[in-house]
Structure 1
Amino acid sequence: MAEDDNAVVEISLKLASVYASMFDYEKAVEGFQFCIATQEDKIKKYGEKNLDEDTLLLWAMSMDWYARFLLNIKKYDLAKKHFVKAYEMSERINGLGHEQTAVLLNDIGSVCSLQKDYTEAIEYLEKAIDAARECKSLDIGSFYVNLGTVYLQQSMIAEAERCCKEGLILSKKMENKDATEEAKICLEEIQNLLKKK
Structure 2
Amino acid sequence: MWGPLSRSLGRGLLAAAGRRRRGYARLLLAGPRGGGGGGGRRGTEVTTKPPRVGQGRSGRGLCVVALAALSWFFKSAPAEEEEEEEDDVNEVVESPPSETELKIIQMLKRAKLSIMKKDPEEAERILHEALHLAHKANIKKAIIYTYDMMANLAFMRNQLEKAEKLFKATMSYLLAGGMKQEDNAIIEISLKLASIYATLKKQEFAFAGYEFCISTLERKITKEKALSEEAMPAEEKDNTRLLLGMCYDSYARYLLDVNRLSDAQKMYEKALQISREIRGERHPQTVVLMNDLATTLDAQGHFDEAYTYVKKASELARQIEHPELHRVLSNMAGILMHKASYVEAKYVYEEALKEAELKGDEASIEHIKEELTELASSRGL
TM-score class normalised by the smaller sequence: over 0.9
Deviation of 1:88 (Å):
0.7
Matches within 5 A, 1:178-189: 178-189=363-374
User: How big is each residue's C-alpha offset from its partner over 1:106-137, in whole Å with a ceiling of 9 and x where there is no partner?
Assistant: 01100111011110010010111122223321
C-alpha distance in structure 2 between counterparts of 1:173 and 1:85, whole Å: 33
Partner residue, 1:13: 191
Aligned match for 1:153, one of 338, 354, 367: 338
The residue that corresponds to 1:63 in the other structure is 248
Tell me if the contact between 1:145 and 1:164 (Cα under 8 Å) persists in the aligned partners.
yes
**Greater Cα shift, 63-72 or 169-178:** 169-178
Give yes or no for the alignment of 1:73 onto 2:251. Answer: no
Greater alpha carbon shift after TM alignment, 177-186 vs 164-173: 177-186
* Amino acid corresponding to residue 309 of structure 2 in structure 1: Y
- Report the identity percentage: 34
What do residues 73-116 of structure 1 show as CA deviations (whole Å, max 9, x unaligned)?
10000000000100110111111111111111001100111011
CA distance in 2, matches of 1:29, 1:127: 32
CA–CA separation in structure 2 for the residues paired with 1:68 and 1:123: 20
Which residues in structure 2 correspond to 1:22-37 (within 5 Å)? 22-37=200-215
Number of paired residues? 196
Deviates more, 1:125-134 or 1:78-87: 125-134
- Residue 67 to residue 131, structure 1, CA distance change in 2 (3 Å): same
Cα-Cα RMSD:
1.7
- In structure 2, the CA distance between the partners of 1:127 and 1:52, relative to structure 1 (3 Å rule), is same
Following superposition, the deviation at residue 189 of structure 1 comes to 1.6
For structure 2, the 5+ residue unaligned runs are 1-178, 227-232
- CA distance change for structure 1 residues 179 and 137 in 2, over 3 Å: closer, same or farther? farther
Q: Which whole-Å CA distance do the structure 1 matches of 2:265 and 2:200 have between them?
A: 23
User: Pick from 213, 217, 225: which aligns with 1:39?
Assistant: 217
Structure 1 contact 101–131 (Cα < 8 Å) conserved: no
Question: What is residue 191 of structure 1 aligned with on the other side?
Answer: 376
Q: Does the aligned pair in 2 maintain the 1:142–1:182 contact within 8 Å? A: no
Letter in structure 2 aligned against 1:105: M
SS at match of 2:181: coil
Amino acid at match of 1:177: E
8 Å Cα contact 2:330/2:352 also seen in 1: yes
Q: Contact 2:224–2:237 (CA<8 Å) still a contact in 1?
A: no
2:343 counterpart SS class:
helix
1:139 touches 1:179 (CA, 8 Å); kept in 2? no
Secondary structure of 1:52 counterpart? helix
Q: Which runs of 5+ in 1 are unaligned?
A: none
TM-score by length of structure 1 reads 0.93
* Structure 1 pair 178–99 and aligned structure 2 pair: CA distance change class (3 A): farther
Q: Look up the SS of the partner of 2:241 in the other structure.
A: helix
SS in 2 for 1:103: helix
Q: Which has the higher contact order (CA 8 A, sep 6+)?
A: 2
Give, as a single letter, the amino acid of the residue that structure 2 aligns with 1:19.
Answer: Y
Counterpart Cα distance in 2 of 1:177 and 1:194: 25
Please give the secondary structure, in 1, of the residue aligned with 2:207.
Answer: helix
TM-score of the two chains, using structure 2 as the length reference? 0.49
Match of 2:319 among 108, 119, 134: 134
Amino acid at match of 1:20: A
Q: Which amino acid aligns with 2:319?
A: E
| Deviation for aligned residue 1:174 | 2.8
